[in-house]
Amino acid sequence: MKANRVCVIGAGTMGSGIAAHLANIGFEVTLLDLTKQSIEEAFSRSKQVKPPHFMTTERAQSIRLGSLADNLDWITEADWVCEAIIERPDAKAELFKTIAPLISERAMISTNTSGLEISMLGEHFPEEIRRKFLGTHFFNPPRYLKLLELIPTTYSDPKAVEAMTKFLEQRVARRVVVAKDTPGFIANRYGMWSMFQAIHVAEKLRIPIEQVDFITGPFLGRPRSGSFRLNDLVGLDIMQDIATNLIQRRPGDPFIEGLKTPKSMAFLAERGWIGEKTGQGYYRREGKELLAFDLETNAYRLRRDGGFESLKALEKLPLGERIGKALELKDEAGEFLRHYLLPIMKYADYLKEEISHSVRDFDRVMMWGFGWEAGPFAMMDAIGHEKLGMGGKAFYSEGKILDFSGKYVKPEPEPEFATIKDFPILSTHENFLIRDLGDGIKAVSLTTKMGVITPALVTELTKLLKDPLFDRFMLTSEARSFSAGFDLKFFLERIEKHDVEGIEQALIDLQKLGEMLEQRKVVAAVFGHCLGAGLELAFSCSMIAAHPETTIGFPETRVGLIPGGRGTTLARVYNQASAKRLTDVCLTLAEGTTGNPDQARTMGILRSRDVTVYHPDRLIYDAKKLLKVVMPAVRPAWKPSEGPLQGMIDRELKAKLADDTLTEYDLVLGEKLKSVFARCITYEEALAKERSEFLDLCWRAHTQGRIKAMVENGKPLRN
């Protein structure tokens, strides 16, 4: 399915979010709302949302805004008409009657909803449109949550469903689960019930909300928001609306009583305290203090430590084993889990055939949409069916999935979504693994915590690159981030010992490793964080392939340093087209600014040849494709600065000092950067200069204070 032009109708929270996501990844987007005033107001709000909908301001400016009153004919240009107005069947029906004659023969048409009946909505279209009409359920915010439920109707052409599924996965950069056309689909029918269950159990057992969030957060393999923080993020009003709709549409469900409004939710909602959007719900922030709602007194109090020592003792065990042991605990944590976890497992088992096509689809919705480490069926297998009192076969066995007829079936392979850990290990080293990506291609995958660069890692990689056969490979990481930068503890220890030679040698070795990488065919597959020395190594590769939400940059000034492993030099050499460009990049380094890949490219800390892999799960696959054709990096020749570069940098630094963006000490750091950018005549001189300036900074009290603060507190010190 080829489609470049998308018309999103409805500029509310979801419509604006969908439009932003599509604009971010390169579609030509038209966004329509009722009137010119309503579209302008809605779009203005969309640009202020936190976290931001748009990757760059340029992406926001690319969207064409219009009104249904004045620009209805724009719908004829669309390859995909994505309706996302208010979730009222009557409003959608009225709109469909209006736009039906304007939908081109080539265009797909979808309605975005969290649970309305798609087949019923499709009846308002003529047959030729009805056959290609589908439901979508984007998760909010669409930029950050990769799940998309796709819902065919009883009229849908199977070819249209297949084409749309591929289009959404390949072009729209979402992971698609095809769900059945039932109330709430999979996500809200089951996910919402699970959220309500935690509240009901907490009220019944009188367990404080902080303790519930501790149990239902990372301990269960879920996000840190746990249950009550998640309720605030979703909004108690939205939760009540979804629950009411499900109760009305599924009265025969024996578990449906679990969606009745809990007492605490009713109390908060009656007062308009419905979560984050109103500033308070189950939690409320007052200044620097976070208050928690007390389920017994119906009043706010200071948030307490919610940890259970009994659970902390189990945290390092594999998910299934730790939950299994926790279910046997005799304390409040064990009591909560028995009352909470067993019912949600049983409800998943009850619902599975009604709402999903397979247990894997069911699990994927909870993993991709709610951030669970394992869905309910994988969790049942991991804990043990007998321990849960459920019996039956394992749902997953030897790479196969138990289908609803009771047979094990092998799923279709999905090589495009493979993670680095799916590939076999060829050899294990102290600080990295070498994995076989197939087709004669290898990956060097860092194993240090957060991909931190250490002298030992630099030594190991240097030794590896001396092998002439190791010429083409991927550089990536096993950690949650590609690299958080150089190990600051190393510098702090060397400073305390006044080991000047040790620091300088570490910088020389890092610079030489970067030069060796430049001579090889290497793609750096980066994600999470790509900072400091990690970016210096990635910058040395032939190409960087970046996950769209990677935080990229040189934040060295936040710890009182400048990039000293070729970072300053490379930022200079790749941006020497004009004095204005060099000034801007120098200021970026002075401020320690970081950003997503598209922002980093604009800031000059990614190159034009570096790519953003907009599908979050295709990073390794797409990086491997690039690796097959990539050639060694060709670093531009050093050009001495022309014109008044020093003066331009000075003026900008002083302006930043005047508006309090920079401190007096930041100005010192800016001077160090300027000495590389504006005073060096050759590349070799620049390398030596960035090292000497780095060393000089190490012995300054302000720098030492900044490094120590970051090492001890994990937060930058602004001194």
User: How does pLDDT run across 402-434, given as a tens digit for each residue?
Assistant: 999 999 999 999 999 999 999 999 999 999 999
CA–CA distance, 384 with 204 (Å, rounded to integer): 27
Write down the pLDDT at residue 391.
83
Q: Provide the H-helix boundaries in 327-431.
A: 332-355, 359-370, 376-383
Whether 145 shows a pLDDT value over 90: the answer reads: yes
DSSP string, 279-321: TBSSEEEETTEEEEEETTTTEEEE------HHHHTTTTS-HHH
Whether 642 shows a pLDDT value over 90: the answer reads: no
CA–CA distance, 189 with 250 (Å, rounded to integer): 10
**pLDDT grade, residue 305 (50/70/90)?**
confident
User: How does pLDDT run across 477-501, given as a tens digit for each residue?
Assistant: 999 999 999 999 999 999 999 999 9
Write down the pLDDT at residue 160.
96
**Domains of the chain by start residue, with CATH:** 5-178 (3.40.50.720), 187-409 (1.10.1040.50)
Burial class (CB in 10 A: 0-12, 13-18, 19+), 632: middle
> Nearest-CA neighbor of 439 among 414, 467, 474, 404?
474
User: How does pLDDT run across 72-123, given as a tens digit for each residue?
Assistant: 999 999 999 999 999 999 999 999 999 999 999 999 999 999 999 999 999 9
Whether 131 shows a pLDDT value over 80: the answer reads: yes
* Mean pLDDT for the stretch of residues 268-276: 96
Segment 598-604 long-range contacts (CB within 8 Å, at least 24 positions apart): 598/24, 598/55, 598/56, 598/59, 598/548, 599/55, 599/56, 599/552, 600/546, 600/552, 600/553, 602/56, 602/58, 603/553, 604/571, 604/574, 604/575
Segment 383-388 long-range contacts (CB within 8 Å, at least 24 positions apart): 383/320, 383/323, 383/324, 383/327, 384/320, 384/324, 387/324, 387/327, 388/342, 388/345
Residue 123, token pair as written in the block? 């009846």
Whether 392 shows a pLDDT value over 90: the answer reads: no
* Mean pLDDT for the stretch of residues 129-139: 97
**What share of the chain in percent tops pLDDT 90?**
97
Write down the pLDDT at residue 643.
76
Whether 708 shows a pLDDT value over 90: the answer reads: yes
Q: Is 19 helix (H, G, I), strand (E, B) or coil?
A: helix
| Helices and strands of the chain, counted as H and E runs | 29, 24
Write down the pLDDT at residue 506.
98
| Angle of CA points 665, 671, 676, to nearest 5° | 140
> Nearest-CA neighbor of 668 among 561, 554, 579?
561
**What share of the chain in percent tops pLDDT 70?**
100
- 532 sits in the region (left: phi over 0; alpha: psi -120 to 50; else beta) called left
* Mean pLDDT for the stretch of residues 709-716: 95
Q: What is the pTM of this model?
A: 0.93
150 neighbors 177 (Cβ within 8 angstroms): yes
Whether 345 shows a pLDDT value over 80: the answer reads: yes
Tokens 């208050």 belong to residue: 291
538 neighbors 475 (Cβ within 8 angstroms): yes
Residue 485, token pair as written in the block? 């930068």
Write down the pLDDT at residue 77.
97
* Mean pLDDT for the stretch of residues 322-334: 96
Taking the CA atoms of the chain, what radius of gyration do you get in angstroms? 28
* Mean pLDDT for the stretch of residues 525-533: 99
Looking at every residue in the chain, the average pLDDT score rounds to 96
